[in-house]
Amino acid sequence: MKQERFEALHQAEWEAFENWLGHHLRIIKNQDETVSQQPFANHEMPQRYRNLCQHLAIARDRGYSLLLVERLHNLVQSGHDILYRANSGISGRMLNYIAGGFAADLRANLRWVLLSTLLIIGPWMIMMVVIRLWPDFIYVVIAPDDIHQMDEMYNGDDAFNYGASILRDSGSNWKMFGFYIYNNISIAFRAFAGGLLAGLGTVYTLIFNGIHLGAIEARLINIGAGRNFYSFVLGHTAFEIGGIIISGAAGLKLGWSLIMPGRLSRPDSLKTTASSVLGLICGSGIMLLIAAMIEAFWSPHNFPLPIKIAVGIFTLLLLLGYFIFTGRRHAA
């Protein structure tokens, strides 16, 4: 069949498809300047799309002109994009994930979580012991200016500008909320991304944070600000450290998949692992968001220490209970 006849035969069909695309993508004007209307019902689209694929195959095979092939190719590509778009049921999947998928996911990756925990808790404990024994060692790990600033922040009876009230003024709560979100969640995401550098970025972030946390904790106990310190941190520790550990675990797993890809090629191994840990990353982001809320709006308030401790233990048990008991049905 000559090109002319082929075009004449199918012209109307192609134009209908073009108009449908325009309508679907909410382009107001068609290429021929008419207002786009829906030329056929949505459910006819796959059928018409397959016809179009066939036309493109024929046009290519018979060597019709490049412009015709190009036009059909563009139609097929736009149709393909619409037909194979994969974003269905996202809210349902998210709910499922929060309801237990996250916990199941975490248990499935338990060894990475344990390794990540070890990498942060190990240096932490070592620092605690070292600085309790040799207090001046703190000057090796933290800059003197930072130490003085921290000492001043936690020392004294009025450590967080409560003034007469036991509540801090709400504006500065919001300021700190923004800061914790910006700072802490970025650290967690970067710890994950560092996994792509063969895991070295993640290992560095975890150890570095472990050293800092241990050093600061030991220092504040040394100068006698332990009460203020624990009153402040206990409420959000479980969520914050938990979040960092989980994103660290994701980063470590990603790094390992690059080092030891097993039977896959390295790009494929990276790809599978990255999409398998995505849930962990989002989960850790949410945990850090919760931590930021607690840290900004609960932690600075001057309630009696036993209440603060009780709340701290409660959040820890809540988190552990969630990770241990939910999502059992998800596990195959």
Partner 1 sequence: MMLDTVRDITTPELIEIRLHPAGFLPRGFAFFIDTILRWLLMLLIAIPSIFIGDLGIGLFLISIFLIEWFYPVFFEVVFQGKTPGKHLVGLKVLNDNGTPISLSASIIRNFLRFADFFPLFYLFGLISMLTNKEFRRLGDIAAGTIVVYTEPAARRFSVPEAIPVPPDFPLSRDTQKTIVSFAERSVGLTKPRQEELAALLPQLSQTMHPQEPQGAARLISIANFLIGRKS
- State the residues that interact with partner 1 by CB under 8 A: 1-5, 31, 49-50, 53, 56-57, 63-67, 70-71, 73-77, 80-81, 84-87, 90, 169-179, 181-182, 185-186, 189-190, 192-197, 201, 254, 267, 270-271, 273-275, 278, 281-282
Q: How far is the CB of 261 from partner 1 (least distance, A)?
A: 12
Q: Is 53 exposed, middle or buried (0-12, 13-18, 19+ CB in 10 A)?
A: middle
Diameter over CA atoms, the chain = 93
Contact by Cβ (8 Å): 226, 285: no
Q: How far is the CB of 118 from partner 1 (least distance, A)?
A: 23
Q: Nearer Cβ to partner 1, position 35 or 320?
A: 35
Q: How far apart are CA 172 and CA 170, in angstroms?
A: 5
Q: How far is the CB of 138 from partner 1 (least distance, A)?
A: 29
Contact by Cβ (8 Å): 214, 131: yes
Nearest to 319 by CA among 284, 278, 281, 276: 284
Q: Nearer Cβ to partner 1, position 179 or 314?
A: 179
Q: How far is the CB of 212 from partner 1 (least distance, A)?
A: 20
3-state secondary structure of 84: coil
Q: Nearer Cβ to partner 1, position 32 or 136?
A: 32
Q: How far is the CB of 244 from partner 1 (least distance, A)?
A: 15
Q: Nearer Cβ to partner 1, position 79 or 312?
A: 79
Q: How far apart are CA 170 and CA 167, in angstroms?
A: 8
Q: How far is the CB of 176 from partner 1 (least distance, A)?
A: 7
Which residues, in sequence order, are CB contacts of 189 under 8 Å at separation 6+?
Answer: 247, 281, 285
Q: Nearer Cβ to partner 1, position 223 or 282?
A: 282
Q: Nearer Cβ to partner 1, position 181 or 238?
A: 181
Instruction: Give the CA-trace dihedral at 256, 119, 280, 216, to 10 degrees.
Output: -150
